[in-house]
Amino acid sequence: MVHNDIKKPKIVVLGGGFAGLQFIQNLKENEYDIMLIDKLNHHQFQPLFYQVATSQIEPSSISFPFRKIFQERKDVRIRLTKAESIDPDTKQVITPIGNFEYDYLVIATGCKTNYFGNKNIKKYTYGLKSTYQAITIRNSILENFEKILYVNEEEKAPLMNIVVVGGGPTGVELAGAFAEIKKDILPKDFFRIDFTKMNIILLEGSPNTLNNMSTMSRNASADYLKSLGVIIKTGVIVTDYDGTTLHMNNGETIQSRHVIWAAGVTGNLIKGMDSDIVTPTNRFKVDRYNRVLGYKDIFAIGDISYMETETYPKGHPQVANVAINQGKLLSSNLRQLLSNKPMKEYEYKDLGAMATIGRHKAVVELPFVKFKGYFAWFVWMFLHLMLILSVRNKLIIFINWAWNYFSKNSSLRLILKGEEHADPAKDKKKEIAINL
């Protein structure tokens, strides 16, 4: 289609998540000039963030450096920076390190935690949308238990309560994992702490955990969590949190120094686009080819895109399979577009949903069958292993899981923190402030 002596189309991809990565990997090599822009230097396998946060697997097992992934692709350039805005008129992406021209722009920036405008909740709770945030949760949990050994009784109470806000798959998986390490792992490390006083509390605004799944999954997830000792409060909304006291709309309060917010997401928008094509949840409206409405050369895929179809009149679910399949199809459609051939419309074929609540405890909903328990847990584990992109990391994760399964233990409980590195720019600002 494109010969070496012809100028290659410039494609700029914003974001290396599931959608962006699949799009680039499915582009035919050396047919395009591809630029990947991302704030991070690696792809993150988000479904397993909770396992990093609870010290079950290493961060490196679910983090894949872009330069390693594209080591053999000389047509892919990578720039580590933030896309600040888009100038559709000049067809440029504006970043702090310079502007990048494009013939075609693919926005795959995903989503971030939605704090619903509450500044205190954003400031004091922990999010779980990156490997770094997962490590932060792990660090703070372990530090809390170190503190329990020497603080007075009044200070211990908030340290003994771990609160997870949001009863979707992430919240359920987190609560279940915390309950298991409370039972099987932490007492071995901190044998002088009375773990009968430790509470794992899950808060959900709807009437059920896993509220978007079937009645079977809702009931099973609640039963599994309760059997693990998790305290579930449904139909409650968190109204405020000051770092120690959490307030709910029913007037109740919870003392906790560790609140993890998994109650919703909002899109990672980029400035420069027409506000009319942005949804209330900050997603770009696209047509059936993932082309942003009103822009012939700008596409959006994955969580940041909002596509209405007959099957999904309120948009597709923000899950990995949608992002992966949109990325794959767009790579094919772009080739069709450049060849003046008809493109194929996207429609998501629902492959089902699943969530794990702990060892031997999971729910799986496939289009033709729903099941729970031991077998569901193995299906969940197998499918997530198959989604991991690197063979080496598949093996490492399998070994970690197998070891944890048989030993009910883990050697990954490291608090990885260090002294702040000297920053000449900060020192200069301090010096100027002092002189003023």
Question: Mind listing the pLDDT tens digit for each residue in 229-274?
Answer: 999 999 999 999 999 999 999 999 999 999 999 998 999 999 999 9
**Pairwise CA distance, residues 174 & 156, whole Å:** 22
**Which residue matches tokens 């933030």?**
82
What is this structure's pTM? 0.89
CB contact at 8 A, 243 and 272: no
Counting residues of the chain whose pLDDT is more than 90, the rounded percentage is 72
Is the domain 10-113+266-338 a CATH 3.50.50.60 member? yes
* pLDDT of 359: 83
Report whether pLDDT(424) > 70: no
Amino acid at 1: M
If pLDDT is split at 50, 70 and 90, which confidence band does 289 have? very high
As annotated, the residues of the chain forming the CATH 3.50.50.100 domain(s) are 119-263
pLDDT, tens digit (0-9, with 9 covering 90-100), for 108-154? 999 999 999 999 999 999 999 999 999 999 999 999 989 999 999 88
- Averaged pLDDT for residues 283-297: 97
Report whether pLDDT(83) > 70: yes
**Which residue matches tokens 């709910």?**
248
pLDDT, tens digit (0-9, with 9 covering 90-100), for 28-72? 999 999 999 999 999 998 988 998 899 888 888 888 899 999 999
* pLDDT of 1: 46
How many beta carbons lie within 10 A of that of residue 288, not counting itself?
13
* pLDDT of 411: 53
Average pLDDT, the chain: 89
Bridge-partner residues for 199, per DSSP?
Answer: 161
* pLDDT of 425: 46
* Domain covering 119-263: architecture: 3-Layer(bba) Sandwich (3.50)
Q: How far apart are the first and last CA of the chain?
A: 63
| Closest C-alpha to 56, from 417, 401, 359 | 401
| Closest C-alpha to 338, from 114, 10, 4 | 10
CB contact at 8 A, 138 and 129: no
* pLDDT of 124: 96
